[in-house]
Structure 1
Amino acid sequence: MGIGAAVVVVSALAVAGIAVATLTASIKPTVDLGGAAQTELPIPEIGAIPGGVNLLLVGSDSGQGDPVYGERGEHLGDVTILLHIANDHSNATVVSFPRDLYVPIPECDASPGESAEGTDGGTDRLNTALSYGGLACTVKTVSALTGLEIPYAAVIEFNGVVAMSNAVGGVAVCVAERIEDEYTGTFLDPGEHVLEGMAALQFLRTRHGIATGSDTARISNQQVFLAALARTIKSDDTLTNPVRLYGLAKAAAENMTLSTSLNNVTTMISIAKALKDIPLDRVSFVQYPTYSEDGGLLPRDDDATVLMQAVAADQPVIAESTGAGSQSTGAPAQTETPAATDAPTPTDATTETTAPSADPSVPVALPPSISGQTAAEQTCSAGRTLDDQ
């Protein structure tokens, strides 16, 4: 069973660096001790990271041996999300990759610390890359799939989601139809619910209680949470509350495995400064386009090219509709899996695509097979009851 763990990492990374600066600024006046110890040293000024950023966020389902999550099998990366920040920091795109997407897995070295034995390569589900060669292998796999260089990456576990949702003080999510899931213990009536801790984790993990019950429907449900989280951090006092910021930074540090390139405060602060001023309507969450075949998912290559060309060109993107697990406020729930997930093969359903505009400020209208939303859009989870499962 997959998790939506990585959806909170985007905000965690953004505020972790800000927390350091905010807590430092909140320290009371110092006491003059006299002598050499009083010598004033220069304080470095850290600005936004120059240029664009590609950062891969992976949610592991290992459970870290915690018995509360029951017996876990392989160490799989059941959530894989790519965060792209434009070169001029005017927009950001967050691409979710389905766990059951069949892709070429490159040759990867063993990573004993991640219980990964290495692989000679081959074609397999994306979520197996973490078990084959750890975080580095997942980065190599996604980089080859997207054509993007990915210098930063992080892994988060179940307990990290619990800790960070607690630190932010909960996230208010909208539920359109009742969610009932015996597997995760998620039972939510229509309306607004403030979720934190284990309740937030289970909401992000639920699949059976969402629309079609597919992992791709779960991704769009996770985007409901992520967009709400982004609005929460922007609208309340999170960015100016030292205690809350410190809690997020501490939770991130204690519950995430970071790439060497990301494991320093200066880098985190500089990425945070690049993220913090992007308008909500220029932060887009989209799902990598796929089609079903023989029980698995394959890339919808032509539509994926439109998406990745837009990302590479630093253009904001707009999805035509939300996925099966969510709906726009006031709109009817989707009852069938959209073309992005259970569509026929490309030879049976061809989508017209257009190249991105030369003007990087013009949003690219994505093909219908690519679902998603912006952080500014109000959406609700499209649930289903036990009777429909």
Structure 2
Amino acid sequence: MDDQTSGPAARESGAPGSRRSRRHASPADRGFMTRRRVVAISATSLSVLAVAGAVGLWTAYNNLNSNIKTVDIHTESGTGVAAGGGTLATGTQHDAMNVLLIGSDSRDGDNGQYGDKNSGARSDTTMLLHVAADRKSATVASIPRDTMVQVPSCTKTGGGVSTTQLAMFNSAYSTGGAACTVRTVEAVSGLTIDHVLVVDFTGFKNIVDAMGGVPVTLDKAVDDPDSHLNLPAGTTVVNGEQALAFVRARHNLGDGSDIGRMSRQQQFLNAALDTLNTNGTLDDPKKLYKVLDAATKALTTDPGLGSLNALADFASDLKQVPRQNITYLTVPWEWYQPDPNRVQLAPKAQELFDAMRQDRTVPVDVLALSAKQGQQTTAG
């Protein structure tokens, strides 16, 4: 029997699947097929974009994570460096945190332009950050770099072990890096340091540039040939190079003292935090990635902060602290009698450390003394 739906007659009849039916499909049918094709193409495109986006985000995360260098601050060696890994050591957000912020004057690599490449690395700036357990307040206390302290025995950066000695506080970093500085702070304060963040000159500059600059305000113009800082009176948005000169200048800005310079560094830190919160960086993925890339390349942390996730948790903790509840001060000091160019910790310093250890606010008399000393000059 002949098949009634096959052959030339069938192909011309308009039966389903015939050339005629395809050629002469109704407008409604053609519209449906077009829409179906568009939906299929769109779905495929979205799938490709989603996969590409996920791959891009994963790549960006890995890049940032691998930028981070870590140093173990609670072992004898304290000098081994690795990249990536680590979780927030404080455990829960209900723990108080003590974090040491160190600005290194290392002359290695690109930092060589700022001085003698053979002078070694010291802690040019050290701030002790205490974040309260309830995340409602924080204290930032600068430690004068010329403070005479007992630097404990440390494993030296180049190998070997140092002996306990009376020396300037910033020499601890040149002896054994961040680990020795942490040990020194713990020895003189009785505190346990949970984390450390170290940044050098070049890293500091790159972070400021990635942010698009930070505004600083001067009562009068400054032209400092030593630091090459040249700024007018009033408010100026400074770039990385200018910012570095601003926080390091001593002889032609302020009273020329190291104590006065620390106050300026705290003001700059506060302005930088304000800038991040107001210039749209946190809401712009491209800007944020640029800042994060510069920051992660610049930082050396302890293993507990040695991952992007851990740093994000740390930043989240800090963000909970109301800006008006961050107290800035200098650890109380007094003149070191054997050398007028040096200082030593004053008895009130222990009151500050006790308050941090007990997670209390800074005593009023300690704040008053620090404010008074901010008006004094040290030639160190």
Structure 1 length-normalised TM: 0.68
**Structure 2 residue aligned with 1:221, among 264, 270, 273?**
264
Does residue 187 of structure 2 align to residue 141 of structure 1?
no
SS of residue in 2 equivalent to 1:370: helix
In the alignment, the residues of structure 2 paired with residue 202 and residue 220 of structure 1 have an alpha-carbon distance, to the nearest angstrom, of: 15
In the alignment, the residues of structure 1 paired with residue 48 and residue 365 of structure 2 have an alpha-carbon distance, to the nearest angstrom, of: 58
Question: What's the CA shift for 1:307?
Answer: 1.8
Does residue 225 of structure 2 align to residue 182 of structure 1?
yes
- Residues 80-91 of structure 1 aligned to structure 2 (within 5 Å): 80-91=126-137
Question: What's the CA shift for 1:260?
Answer: 1.8
Question: What's the CA shift for 1:184?
Answer: 0.7
Contact 2:214 2:237 in 1 (8 A): yes
In the alignment, the residues of structure 1 paired with residue 309 and residue 104 of structure 2 have an alpha-carbon distance, to the nearest angstrom, of: 26
- Residues 344-359 of structure 1 aligned to structure 2 (within 5 Å): 356=363
CA 1:31–1:107: 2 relative to 1, 3 Å: same
Contact 2:152 2:183 in 1 (8 A): yes
Q: Which residue of 2 aligns with 1:198?
A: 241
**Structure 2 residue aligned with 1:309, among 342, 354, 358?**
354
**Structure 1 residue aligned with 2:125, among 68, 71, 79?**
79
Question: What's the CA shift for 1:166?
Answer: 0.9
- Tell me the amino acid that sits aligned with residue 133 of structure 2: N
Contact 2:329 2:367 in 1 (8 A): no
Deviation digits for residues 199-220 of structure 1, max 9, x if unmatched? 1111111111222211111111
Please give the root-mean-square deviation of Cα atoms over the aligned residues, in Å: 2.7
Q: Which residue of 2 aligns with 1:100?
A: 146
**Comparing both chains, which one has the higher relative contact order based on Cα–Cα distances under 8 Å and sequence gaps of 6 or more?**
1
Question: What's the CA shift for 1:195?
Answer: 0.9
Q: Which residue of 2 aligns with 1:111?
A: 157
Q: Which residue of 2 aligns with 1:230?
A: 273
Question: What's the CA shift for 1:163?
Answer: 0.5
Query: Which structure shows the bigger proportion of residues in helix conformation?
Result: 2
Q: Which residue of 2 aligns with 1:128?
A: 171
Deviates more, 1:259-268 or 1:165-174: 259-268
SS of residue in 1 equivalent to 2:251: coil
Q: Which residue of 2 aligns with 1:299?
A: 345
Question: What's the CA shift for 1:117?
Answer: 5.2
Question: What's the CA shift for 1:222?
Answer: 1.2
In the alignment, the residues of structure 2 paired with residue 29 and residue 273 of structure 1 have an alpha-carbon distance, to the nearest angstrom, of: 32
Identity %: 34
Unaligned ranges ≥5, structure 1: 1-27, 35-45, 318-355, 357-363, 373-381, 383-389
SS of residue in 2 equivalent to 1:83: strand
Contact 1:48 1:271 in 2 (8 A): no
Larger radius of gyration: 2
Does residue 372 of structure 2 align to residue 369 of structure 1?
no
In the alignment, the residues of structure 2 paired with residue 177 and residue 68 of structure 1 have an alpha-carbon distance, to the nearest angstrom, of: 28
Question: What's the CA shift for 1:69?
Answer: 2.1
- Tell me the amino acid that sits aligned with residue 315 of structure 1: R
SS of residue in 2 equivalent to 1:63: coil
**Structure 1 residue aligned with 2:107, among 38, 41, 63?**
63
Question: What's the CA shift for 1:245?
Answer: 2.0
In the alignment, the residues of structure 2 paired with residue 71 and residue 202 of structure 1 have an alpha-carbon distance, to the nearest angstrom, of: 17
Deviation digits for residues 127-156 of structure 1, max 9, x if unmatched? 000111111000000111221101211221
